[in-house]
Structure 1
Amino acid sequence: MNVGIGLPIGDPVTLLDWARRADAGPFSTLGLLDRLVYHNPEPLIALAVLAGATSRVRVQTEVLLAPLRETALLAKQAATLDRMTGGRLTLGLGIGGRQDDHQVAGVDIRTRGRRLDKQMAVMRRIWSGESYGQDAGPIGPAPARSGGPAVLFGGFQPVALERVARWGDGFLAAAAPSWAGGLFDTVRTFWQQYGRDGQPRIVAQVNVALGPQEVIDDARANMHAYYTFTGMADRMVAGMLTTPAEVRAAIAAFADLGADEVMLYCHGLDPAQVDRLAEVV
């Protein structure tokens, strides 16, 4: 079981400290979420900086809102980061649900799922080295991995889970162990129906905060502000894991469900949480 760190978004300057601590520890991956109308850093740029400051740990978007971006440029950016990190990029993609993000990007929120499917067809073609179209040649550079960086899809609805089998390499699950198992099973069923070889990569995500009470309070406040739009922020914050025993139990539960990796998502800004979590895992 691999364990990664989901990075906080409140102060981008501190993320270099987070990244170096994680790279020196037992962690597999650094994850960063995506919004447009918010104060988070742009994930591909931020992860490029963090990849340059580390040598081992992978970098992962959780999830990048692909429909907000121009397709060919996104494919080029992802291939560049993947190539320059020696294949350390995992591209977690989703459609998003915030009206303001789509409004600012000039994208119709009602068609975002269909747009993502069209984007994946184009990006796979670009990453394979084919010409973009009749009047445009190939778009490089070639990614480190043939066919493009590893792609995970987040989501909960059947159409999102089916997308994993149609276009992806795995599933990013922001769900508690109590109901994540059903999502995992659905993804695996679609995988078999599409005749895919092997098994989809399953990456789980849980929200954590370890440290003094002020660290936990900071994490809860930041998480609540981020998820207020859902109308379920109180319930989501209540599910945050705040003790070593809770974190260990969640990792064990996801391992029992067959997850390949668990991302411990930190909303509190204290980078010493990396060291505390390293002791837990």
Structure 2
Amino acid sequence: MNVGIGDPAALLTWARRADAGPFTTLGLLDRLVHDNPEPLVALAVLAGATSRVRVQTEVLLAPLRDTALLAKQAATLDRMTGGRLVLGLGVGGRDDDHRASGTDRRTRGRRLDEQMAVMRRLWSGEAYDDAGGVGPIGPAPARPGGPEVLFGGFQPAAIERVARWGDGFLAAAAPSWAGGLFDTARRFWKEYDRAGEPRIVAQVNVALGPEDVIDDARSRMHAYYTFTGMADRMVSGMLTTPTQIRETITAFTDLGADEVMLYCYGIDPDQVDRLADVV
């Protein structure tokens, strides 16, 4: 379950209900120039209010952040949650986020690759910079080599990072075209001679409840995607009935997805219980 929500304090209610239900993961989006809570800070609070569900960034915009500090924050959260952190990463496509953080949108992909090289080294206990005399940066994460890392994206260069640096692929796409993205991730995985298979996590936008709850979710989603020029199209893809949600989960499962994140834009926490009944 992934939550896009207006009042950060209400996330505690969502988290406790999710932890008591059949869900496996609680995720939060990342934006800078937006009114969402900062995900690593918020997930630290939510992890303390739960005991079972994983906490996931979906996706954290790594190029906006200082690399060494991000590595330390992620390792700390992973260690203190007993390995419950899943670090979903992406590059971000909003000019305003990059302007506010003082980063260059044009080089965001290259920066993410550079960040991953550093973070993997730090999570393995190696020095930050042998040449400059900067030693290791702890604490050691709970998971050897760092928390589980998923990469989101649609272009081949973005999906290739799954095999080069990551553990799995996070796909925010409908089943009708997600299969091709899954296959691309698996192809790169084999080309890099990685063992096993990449973990595949699908994402779908949902809202369950009375008409006012669904209308509110659609309004929030429309406002979020206005910058793309495709807000109406995005909103039209939101699933609002139990049948639609069940059929989509089945379709993703048939494509080989290991997990399906139900992304909720509405603020009504009773959606957690309604979704629990569906899944």
TM-score range for the pair, normalised by the shorter chain length: over 0.9
Q: Deviations over 1:20-51 (max 9, x none)?
A: 00000000000100000000000000000000
Secondary structure of the corresponding residue to residue 172 of structure 1: strand
Question: Hey, what does 1:278 align to over in structure 2?
Answer: 276
Residue identity opposite 2:198 in structure 1: P
Q: Which 4+ residue blocks in structure 1 deviate beyond 4 angstroms?
A: none
Question: Hey, what does 1:50 align to over in structure 2?
Answer: 46
| Aligned mates of 2:216, 2:43 — CA distance in 1 | 23
Q: Deviations over 1:151-176 (max 9, x none)?
A: 00000000001110000000000000
Say whether residues 1:113 and 2:109 are aligned partners. Answer: yes
Question: Hey, what does 2:148 align to over in structure 1?
Answer: 150
| Aligned mates of 2:26, 2:44 — CA distance in 1 | 11
Secondary structure of the corresponding residue to residue 138 of structure 1: coil
Q: Is the 8 A contact 1:9 1:39 kept in 2?
A: no
Question: Hey, what does 1:217 align to over in structure 2?
Answer: 215
Q: Deviations over 1:2-21 (max 9, x none)?
A: xxx11122110100000000
Question: Hey, what does 1:74 align to over in structure 2?
Answer: 70
Question: Hey, what does 1:188 align to over in structure 2?
Answer: 186
Kindly indicate whether structure 1 or structure 2 has the higher relative contact order, using CA contacts under 8 Å at least 6 residues apart. 1
| Aligned mates of 1:209, 1:145 — CA distance in 2 | 34
Give identity over the alignment, percent.
81
| Aligned mates of 2:114, 2:211 — CA distance in 1 | 46
CA RMSD of aligned residues (A): 0.4
| Aligned mates of 1:186, 1:101 — CA distance in 2 | 29
Say whether residues 1:200 and 2:194 are aligned partners. Answer: no
Match of 1:254 among 252, 255, 258: 252
Aligned length: 277
Unaligned runs of 5+ in 1: none
Question: Hey, what does 1:97 align to over in structure 2?
Answer: 93
| Aligned mates of 1:106, 1:9 — CA distance in 2 | 26
TM-score w.r.t. length of structure 1: 0.98
Say whether residues 1:20 and 2:51 are aligned partners. Answer: no
Q: Deviations over 1:213-251 (max 9, x none)?
A: 000001000000111111111000000000000000000
| Aligned mates of 2:234, 2:36 — CA distance in 1 | 19
| Aligned mates of 1:201, 1:95 — CA distance in 2 | 20
| Aligned mates of 1:8, 1:115 — CA distance in 2 | 27
TM-score w.r.t. length of structure 2: 0.99
